[in-house]
């Protein structure tokens, strides 16, 4: 039954937030009869699902909800969810009294109850079983995401996540397999497994069951018939043991693209960040991956200007970037976050101008790498899963190693794996012609 109640959700931040937003929409559709709209002005309920990993998205939250409040329909409610909701809690309502409710990143299962209670604030980070009783979230018809764990047990000194998403609990493997199966039954051919730290999977469950491992989980999931591609994010370089790398190399369903968050190339800084590995360990793991997996693409996250970072430390980071030849780099300038241990290093903070310079240097280095390597795809033939058709008559999809490709096509290609002959390349994507 369709209803007149409209929901608008704005999502900031990571893929966990995207999935949480999809769960919020599904819960409100199922229990409260809302349908989603892309037009904020039409909505009866406006939700902003936030990120607090860096300060910028937090500032953006307040400017955004201020705008929403001015432009919203009369009587429309505004709610704030996600990580910033967890760490600021009722202060959000103090600062923006027109906000109707606040729901933390670990409490989204409560969404259907709080939307009707003006002023409610749900931000506990204790374990909440209902947290993972959601179905798979759909990015599109062919790709679904499934959470495999919640929270994070690492204590990276710059990171606010352990405060906002709580301790790490793994979701039982049979529940994950059931969810993946369900998504596949509904037409998904690609699955994205999500967790803050996926390859520490299986150390703690909410019941007293024995430990499991991420490698074993990958093996369980890859047995599902008609599932063609498995992706996951984020693995931690520290837990990339040989067993995992060997499974990655030999399991044909695993997409040949891996996110390896470096954060810094300096062993000294990695120690100050409490990342648990050295520059050499990271290089060793990346080299082993490249050796065993042909055509592997490696993506990464890097923070520059962490407190105490010297020019030499920064050069170590650039050195790793040169050696590993990352295919995509998400760059960040260190941003001090509330209640994180790195705040104790305040006297070692790097002047903002130097931080910006280092960020630009890193971006430039990587840009040159992409400009030198992306054209080498021209003339090759790649295989893509076609995911969508754009209004201009182009279809788009991704190769197995997760490079985006555009080509002229039609809706008959949707959901199919097709060969594409590449005719041009930009720094981030390829363009080609579908071979029939």
Query: Interface residues with ligand 5AD (CB under 6 A)?
Result: 14, 53-54, 158-159, 261, 263, 301, 303, 332, 334-335, 337
Counting contacts by CB under 6 A, is residue 138 touching ligand SF4?
no
Pairing of strands 101-104, 120-122: parallel
Q: Of these partners, ligand 5AD, ligand SF4, none, which one is at the site of residue 152 (CB under 5 to 8 Å by kind)?
A: ligand SF4
Of the ranges 18-26, 58-66, 155-163, 377-385, which one interacts with ligand SF4 (CB under 6 A)?
Answer: 155-163
Question: Which residues have a Cβ under 8 Å from the Cβ of 15 and sit 6 or more positions away?
Answer: 145, 192, 194, 233
Partner whose footprint covers residue 11, from ligand SF4, ligand 5AD, none (CB < 5 to 8 Å by kind): none
Helices 279-292/242-250 angle, 10° precision: 30
Give dist(CA 259, CA 241) in Å, integer: 15
C-beta closer to ligand 5AD: residue 26 or 345:
345
Q: Which does 196 bind (CB under 5 to 8 A by kind): ligand SF4, ligand 5AD, none?
A: ligand SF4
| Nearer CB in complex with ligand 5AD: 170/300 | 300
Question: Choosing among ligand 5AD, ligand SF4, none, which partner's interface includes residue 301 (Cβ < 5 to 8 Å by kind)?
Answer: ligand 5AD
Residue 332 interacts with which of ligand 5AD, ligand SF4, none, CB < 5 to 8 Å by class: ligand 5AD
For ligand 5AD, the closer of residues 355 and 432 by Cβ is: 355
Q: How many CB atoms lie within 10 A of CB 237?
A: 22
> Which token pair is 160?
């606010």
Among residues 14, 47, 51, 152, which is the contact residue for ligand SF4, using CB under 6 A? 152
When asked if residue 162 is in the footprint of ligand SF4 (CB under 6 A), the reply is yes
**Cα distance between residue 412 and residue 69, in whole Å:** 43
Q: Which residue has the tokens 């693209």?
A: 257
Min separation Cβ 342 and ligand 5AD, Å = 7
Indicate the length of the chain as a whole number. 436
Q: Choosing among ligand SF4, ligand 5AD, none, which partner's interface includes residue 335 (Cβ < 5 to 8 Å by kind)?
A: ligand 5AD
Helix (H, G, I), strand (E, B) or coil at 367: helix
β partners of residue 147: 194
In the complex, what is the shortest distance from the CB of residue 367 to ligand 5AD, in angstroms, rounded to a whole number? Answer: 19
Q: How many residues at the interface with ligand SF4, by CB under 6 A?
A: 9
Q: Are 231 and 193 in contact (CB under 8 A)?
A: yes
The item of ligand 5AD, ligand SF4, none sharing an interface with residue 82, based on CB under 5 to 8 Å by kind, is none
Long-range contacts of 177-183 (CB under 8 A, 24+ apart): 177/220, 177/221, 177/224, 179/135, 179/136, 179/146, 180/136, 180/144, 180/146, 180/221, 180/224, 180/227, 181/224, 182/135, 182/136, 183/135, 183/136, 183/138, 183/144, 183/146
Q: Given candidates 47, 156, 296, 384, which one binds ligand SF4 under the rule CB under 6 A? A: 156
Question: Quick one: 34 or 158, whose CB is closer to ligand SF4?
Answer: 158
Q: In this structure, what are the phi and psi dihedrals at residue 374, rounded to the nearest 5 degrees?
A: -60, -40
In the complex with ligand SF4, the residue whose CB is nearer, 170 or 197, is: 197
Q: What letter would DSSP give residue 294? A: T
β-bridge partners, 399: 384
Residue 412 contacts by C-beta under 8 Å, 6 or more apart in sequence?
A: none
Residue nearest to ligand 5AD (CB): 301
Nearest to 311 by CA among 281, 341, 277, 269: 269
Task: Say if strands 297-304 and 190-194 run parallel, antiparallel, or are unpaired.
Answer: unpaired
Rounded least distance, CB 13 to ligand SF4, Å: 12
* Contact status: 197 vs ligand SF4 (CB under 6 A): yes
Nearer residue to ligand SF4 within complex by CB, 101 or 214: 214
Taking alpha carbons only, the member of 167, 251, 262, 263 closest to residue 206 is 167
Does 13 engage in binding with ligand SF4 (CB under 6 A)?
A: no
Rg (CA), the chain: 22
User: Considering the complex, what minimum distance in angstroms separates the CB of residue 358 from ligand SF4?
Assistant: 19
Q: How far is the CB of 341 from ligand 5AD (least distance, A)?
A: 11
**By CB under 6 A, what part of segment 235-264 binds ligand SF4?**
236
Nearest approach, Cβ of 189 to ligand SF4 (angstroms)? 29
Spatial neighbors of 208 by CB under 8 A, at least 6 apart, are none
Q: Does 409 bind ligand SF4 (CB under 6 A)?
A: no
Q: Look at residue 154 and give the partner it binds from ligand 5AD, ligand SF4, none, a contact being a CB closer than 5 to 8 Å depending on partner kind.
A: ligand SF4
Among 32, 154, 203, 253, binds ligand SF4 (CB under 6 A): 154
Which residues contribute to the site for ligand SF4 (CB under 6 A)? 152, 154, 156, 159, 161-162, 196-197, 236
């Amino acid at each position: 039954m369709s209803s007149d109640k409209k929901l608008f959700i704005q999502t900031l931040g990571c893929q966990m937030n995207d999935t949480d937003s999809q769960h919020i929409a599904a819960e409100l559709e199922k229990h409260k009869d809302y349908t989603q709209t892309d037009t904020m002005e039409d909505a009866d309920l406006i939700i902003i699902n936030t990120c607090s990993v860096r300060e910028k998205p937090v500032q953006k939250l307040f400017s955004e909800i201020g705008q929403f409040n001015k432009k919203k329909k009369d009587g429309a409610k505004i709610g704030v969810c996600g990580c910033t909701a967890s760490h600021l809690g009722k202060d959000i309502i103090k600062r923006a009294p027109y906000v109707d409710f606040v729901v933390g990143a670990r409490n989204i299962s409560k969404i259907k109850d709080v939307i009707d209670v003006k002023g409610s604030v749900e931000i506990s980070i204790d374990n909440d079983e209902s947290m993972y009783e959601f179905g798979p979230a759909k990015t599109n018809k062919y790709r679904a995401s499934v959470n495999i764990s919640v929270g994070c047990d690492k204590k990276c000194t710059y990171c606010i996540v352990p405060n906002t998403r709580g301790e790490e609990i793994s979701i039982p493997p049979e529940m994950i397999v059931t969810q993946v199966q369900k998504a596949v039954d509904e037409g998904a051919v690609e699955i994205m497994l999500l967790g803050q730290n996926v390859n520490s999977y299986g150390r703690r469950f909410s019941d007293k069951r024995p430990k499991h491992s991420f490698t074993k989980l990958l093996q369980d999931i890859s047995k599902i018939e008609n599932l063609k591609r498995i992706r996951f994010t984020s693995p931690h370089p520290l837990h990339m043991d040989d067993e995992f790398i060997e499974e990655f190399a030999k399991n044909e369903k695993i997409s040949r693209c891996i996110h390896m968050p470096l954060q810094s190339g300096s062993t000294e800084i990695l120690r100050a960040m409490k990342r648990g590995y050295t520059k050499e360990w990271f290089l060793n793991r990346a080299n082993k991956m490249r050796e065993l997996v042909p055509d592997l693409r490696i993506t990464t996250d890097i923070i520059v200007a962490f407190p105490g970072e010297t020019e030499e430390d920064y050069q170590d980071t650039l050195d790793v970037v040169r050696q590993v030849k990352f295919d995509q780099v998400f760059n960040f300038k260190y941003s001090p976050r509330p209640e994180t241990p790195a705040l104790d290093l305040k006297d070692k903070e790097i002047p903002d101008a130097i931080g910006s310079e280092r960020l630009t240097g890193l971006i430039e280095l990587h840009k040159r790498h992409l400009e030198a390597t992306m054209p080498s795809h021209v003339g090759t033939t790649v295989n893509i899963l076609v995911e969508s058709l754009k209004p201009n008559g182009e279809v788009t999809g991704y190769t197995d190693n997760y490079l985006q490709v555009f080509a002229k096509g039609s809706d008959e290609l949707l959901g199919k794996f097709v060969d594409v002959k590449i005719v041009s390349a930009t720094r981030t994507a390829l363009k080609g012609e579908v071979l029939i």
